[in-house]
């Protein structure tokens, strides 16, 4: 717990108060929910916990957004508001992650899925566990808390898996994501100066930048946890090999998508409430997921696009078709049908990423319009496809059979470590922070 607090407080010690308050509230609420026999009192306690956590998240992350949206709405009707009442506040790093993590504990205790712990130190360690504190995976108390409470024994094989994941995560972050970042920044910041082919390439590069950045952090967090004897949940399972949006969300940011499934989608009735209400629930989940990522209408639109793309697979009942299946796991190459499915799905995912990356919705729409209206095959920055994207895709195709990467020989890891060391040395002091730190 102490090391986690030092880790988090190193950025800004003042925000330690928020995570400590959240920990105290849910620790005592969990105990009191277990003690109460009156269901209505349990509900009051649960709502008290959720209102506190969501209230803190709302003030720091969404207050200014709603105020500014309110002012802009009045401006649209021709009325100028003199005072916007915005606050000059900084978004605490990782607040969306640890808020959801501690809320899931209280909900699981309320549902009877978990007995509350009376060990405050262990509970505080669960909430603030430093490897995944600021960018996930969003852990469940049912998985992580028992591991904290129980004695752990060092296992060399598990530690070796952890080192491999750390190296692979660092490679994706430093070599791929950080190399693509300046190209993506240049294209999106001055997109009107480029042809449509370059704009499409910029969107593709951002798709791989955010994937390597975020999944790289998750790999590092899972790898470090293994060194300490902890097993965290998988957060990515080769999402760009997905054949529809349903499969994509079972492979992308798994800890968040399953959180919304278990704590929002199913309580709303899931897919058991008839087709129209099920569709309503789908749009709620994706819109809330988009809004979780940031206080900007671009994220809401991004979520809406994914909801819209998810509907056909839901209606045709193919949304669960690839639930436990990895593309062509036992074959050397995918079939033409699988290539087509992966290509079409990836294209729509890339188009949606334009909204995620753009400063505002108008810029995103204009960016996409220019892709199609000014398309040209004479594109800039095309060589990055061969330097970074193609090698990554080929490596992930090999790795898809084993998330632990245990089937890859030691010579590969030695070579990868050398490449990583060269890039770290060349970019010393120039690494970009992880994208998901802002959430």
Look up tokens 């407080």; give the residue.
Answer: 9
Q: Which residues contact 131 (CB under 8 A, 6 or more apart)?
A: 220, 221, 222, 224, 225, 228, 230, 232
Return the ∠ at Cα 138 (arms to 135 and 143), rounded to 5°: 140
Nearest to 225, CA basis, from 155, 171, 177:
155
Handedness of CA 169, 171, 172, 175 (dihedral sign): positive
DSSP string, 362-422: HHHHHHHHHHHHT--S--SSTTHIIIIIHHHHHHHHHHTT-TT-TTS-HHHHHHHHHHHHH
The closest of 438, 437, 370, 430 to 182, measured between CA atoms, is 430
378 is a catalytic site residue: no
Rg over alpha carbons for the chain, rounded to the nearest Å, is 23
Closest Cα to residue 187, out of 379, 433, 436?
A: 379
- Dihedral over Cα of 173, 215, 207, 336: its sign: positive
CB < 8 Å & 24+ apart, contacts of 402-410 = 403/234, 403/237, 404/161, 404/164, 404/165, 405/161, 405/164, 405/165, 405/168, 406/161, 406/164, 408/164
Q: Which of 75, 293, 306, 407 is catalytic?
A: 293
CB atoms within 10 A of CB 142: 12
Peptide bond into 323 cis (omega under 30): no
Q: Give the residue numbers marked as catalytic.
A: 293
């Amino acid at each position: 717990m102490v090391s986690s607090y030092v880790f988090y407080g190193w950025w800004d010690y003042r925000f330690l108060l928020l995570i400590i308050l959240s920990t105290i509230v849910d620790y005592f609420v969990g105990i009191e929910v277990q003690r109460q026999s009156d269901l209505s009192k349990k509900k009051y306690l649960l709502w008290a916990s959720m209102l506190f956590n969501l209230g803190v998240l709302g003030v720091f992350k969404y207050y200014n957004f709603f105020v500014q949206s309110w002012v802009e709405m009045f401006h649209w009707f021709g009325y100028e508001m003199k005072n916007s009442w915005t606050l000059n506040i900084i978004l605490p790093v990782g607040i969306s992650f640890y808020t959801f993590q501690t809320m899931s504990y209280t909900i699981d205790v309320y549902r009877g899925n978990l007995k509350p712990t009376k060990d405050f130190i262990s509970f505080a360690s669960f909430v603030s566990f430093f490897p995944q504190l600021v960018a996930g995976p969003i852990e469940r108390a049912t998985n992580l808390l028992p591991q904290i409470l129980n004695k752990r024994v060092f296992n060399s094989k598990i530690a070796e898996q952890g080192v491999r994941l750390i190296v692979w995560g660092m490679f994706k972050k430093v070599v791929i994501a950080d190399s693509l970042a300046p190209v993506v920044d240049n294209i999106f910041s001055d997109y009107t100066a480029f042809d449509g082919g370059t704009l499409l390439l910029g969107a593709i590069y951002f798709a791989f930048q955010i994937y390597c950045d975020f999944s790289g952090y998750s790999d590092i967090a899972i790898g470090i946890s293994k060194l300490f004897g902890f097993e965290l949940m998988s957060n990515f399972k080769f999402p760009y090999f997905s054949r529809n949006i349903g499969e994509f969300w079972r492979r992308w940011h798994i800890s968040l998508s399953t959180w919304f499934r278990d704590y929002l989608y199913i309580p709303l009735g899931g897919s058991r409430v008839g087709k129209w209400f099920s569709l309503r629930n789908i749009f709620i989940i994706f819109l809330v997921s988009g809004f979780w990522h940031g206080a900007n209408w671009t994220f809401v639109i991004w979520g809406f696009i994914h909801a819209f793309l998810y509907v056909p697979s839901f209606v045709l009942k193919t949304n669960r078709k690839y639930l436990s299946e990895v593309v062509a796991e036992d074959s050397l190459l995918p079939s033409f049908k699988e290539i087509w499915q992966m290509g079409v799905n990836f294209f729509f995912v890339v188009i949606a990423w334009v909204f995620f990356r753009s400063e505002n919705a108008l810029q995103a729409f204009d960016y996409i319009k220019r892709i199609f209206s000014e398309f040209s095959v004479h594109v800039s920055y095309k060589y990055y496809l061969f330097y970074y994207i193609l090698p990554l895709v080929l490596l992930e195709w090999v790795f898809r059979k084993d998330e632990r990467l245990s089937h890859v020989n030691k010579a590969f890891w030695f070579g990868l470590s050398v490449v990583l060391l060269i890039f770290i040395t060349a970019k010393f002091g120039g690494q970009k922070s992880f994208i998901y730190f802002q959430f």
